[in-house]
Structure formats: C-alpha cells, structure tokens
Amino acid sequence: MGMAASQARYLALTARKTNVEYEGQQINQERTALANQSADAFNQYLALEVPTAPSTQDFTTVQYTYQDGMVTEAISNMTPVNDPAHPDANYLVEHYRYIDLYKGVRYTRANPQVRLDPDTGLPTYVGNNELTAYVPGDETLDLALAQIRNDNPGDPIETATDLYYYTSYGRTYFATKDELIACANSSPDTEHQINLNTYYADYMQEKISSTDYAFVEFDNNGRATSIAFENLSATFSIETETITDDVAYQDAMNQYNYKKLQYEKAIQDINAKTEIIQQEDRTLELRLRQLDTEQKALTTEMEAVQAVIKKNVESTFKTFSN
C-alpha cells in the first residue's frame, strides 16, 4: 500500500471510529433515558396503595336491648354521669323503639299514563289500573282518606270533593279528578305526562327516641346486664346481641373489589411499560456491543495502517539518506 493510500485509509478509519464513538454516546444517553423511565415506573409501583379487604369486625357492634312489656327497646348510647341532681343514675341513656303508625302518604307517580273516557272525558285508568269514583260510605276507604287528609294538609286532596281511587298490589291509591284530567291532557300521545300525586294510607314503622337518666349494672366482662330508669320503678334485664351491618359491609366489599381491579390494572400497565423499556434497553445493549466490536476492529486496523505508514516513512527517508 502506498503512502497516500495508507493515509487515506487511516483518515477513513478515523472518521468511522469517531462515528462509532458518537453513536455509542447516543445509545448510552438513550439507555440513561430508559433507566429514568424505569425508575419512574418503579416509583409509580411504590406509590400504589394495596387495597385491604374489609373485615366484618369493622361493621359489627354490640347491641343492648330490653323488653318493656311487648315493646323492644334498643340502647343507642350510654354516657357516664355523676350528677347530684340525679343521685340514683350513673348513665345518661339514649334509647329508641319502633312503633307501627297508621299514616297517610303522598306518592308521586312519574309518567302515570292516565287515560280518559273519549265520550265522557272522565278518568278511566292510571296505567293498567282501573279507576273508580270515590263515594263516601265505605268504612275502610273513609278511614284511609281521613288519615290521608290529616297527614297532608294543604294538598289539593285535603278539600277536593271529586276523587278517584285504584288498587295496585293490595294497596289503595287516591287521586283528585282535576289532577287526573290534567295529567291525561298534558301530552297528546300520553307518552310524557306530567307527574301525578296519588295518596295511600298504611301502617308504617316509626322510630321513637328518648334520652333518660338510669342506673346501669354490668357483669365482670363489662357488659350491661340490667337498667333501671329513674322515672320508672321497674328494672329491666338487658340482652346483648352482636349485630353486623351487612349492607355497609357489602358496600365496603364492593368498594374493595373496585379498588382491587384498579390496582391490578395499574400493576399490569406498569409491568407492560417496564417490559417495553427492558426490550428497548436490550436492543440498545446489543447495538452497543456491536459498536464495541466494530471499534476494536477499527482500532486494530488503524494500528496496522499506522504500522504501514511508519514503514513507508522509514523507507522513504532511508532512500534519501543513502
């Protein structure tokens, strides 16, 4: 190889080696960026809150009850007291009972589908329920209507004289003639009628709460065994019952299952992202190894070309020295 050719080859090898080193630097920068992304994914993983399944113990309470005649009273709270005005009491007790009350209730029906007789214009149906004009004289209907009017003062039914009723699922509903006709005429196609106020009377449970001073006795386990209210002469035995709020527990379990699905989805997303990062890093690492091999080959070849150039230089100078 001549001097000029050797020098040209050496310059080409130098340029190629420079490009290889530059590409290697770029790959290292890309791997550094991937490492940062991997660290971010790991930090996201650490930031995830692992859902904890609810325990029934968290929704279980001890319920104290006692029998006052035929009525069951439940104790909702007991606060220790030391009040000179109530020397025979050691607790202020909040208690309640449920009683059945006959009440008149307003029930508003959305889109009631009221139909009128085409000849008379009088109401005939509410949905599939046939309407009957109310005539006083039926003891059951009269009693129900009286209770409805008593519990819904100011409503049109309190003073209306033209009333209709229908029976649905064993319950009798009342409605005024004017409201029925207004509903039927509110939409020509009877598909979007205005709401209809209907009324019924029935027995319903109502919670009656009281707060009284009482003397409460406890057993060796700290559970209440008897209670004597200061305004009563009787002493009642207390029964203890462990109650679990199944509805609240199920709500908590549903929330747990939802959070668990979210957590698992987040883990899957992080794992998928990490797998992509690792695959890209493996590809870059392989390319870096190829560049490293190429650089070593270039270095070897450059050393060989340098040796040739040196030999050519020495030969040239020896020629002139002779």
Q: Where are the domains of the chain?
A: 1-97+211-322, 111-194
Q: For residue 114, which of 43, 195, 42 has the smallest C-alpha distance?
A: 195
**Residues pairing with 203 in the sheet:** 102
Please state, in angstroms and rounded to a whole number, the distance separating the CA atoms of residues 266 and 42: 12
CA distances to 48, 258, 259, 266 from 263, in Å = 7, 9, 6, 5
Handedness of CA 131, 135, 141, 144 (dihedral sign): positive
Q: For residue 171, which of 250, 105, 242, 115 has the smallest C-alpha distance?
A: 105
Burial class from Cβ neighbours inside 10 Å (0-12, 13-18, 19+) for residue 119 reads exposed
Say if residues 115 and 190 touch (Cβ distance below 8 Å): yes
CA distances to 25, 47, 187, 201 from 277, in Å = 19, 20, 63, 69
Burial class from Cβ neighbours inside 10 Å (0-12, 13-18, 19+) for residue 247 reads exposed
The DSSP annotation for 87-144 comes to TT-SEEEEEEEEEEEEEEEEEEESS--EEE-TTT--EEEETTEEPEE--TT-HHHHHH
Residues 206-228, mean pLDDT to the nearest whole number = 93
Confidence band, pLDDT 50/70/90 cuts, at residue 287: confident
Please state, in angstroms and rounded to a whole number, the distance separating the CA atoms of residues 316 and 198: 121
**Residues pairing with 72 in the sheet:** 67
Q: Is the pLDDT of residue 114 over 70?
A: yes
Confidence band, pLDDT 50/70/90 cuts, at residue 27: confident
Q: What is the pLDDT of residues 117-127, one digit of tens each?
A: 999 999 999 99
Q: For residue 144, which of 203, 105, 201 has the smallest C-alpha distance?
A: 201
Please state, in angstroms and rounded to a whole number, the distance separating the CA atoms of residues 310 and 292: 27
Q: Quick one: pLDDT at residue 1?
A: 52
In this prediction the pTM is: 0.49
**128 CB-near residues (< 8 Å, 6+ apart):** none
Size of the chain, expressed as the number of residues it contains: 322
Q: Is the pLDDT of residue 9 over 90?
A: no
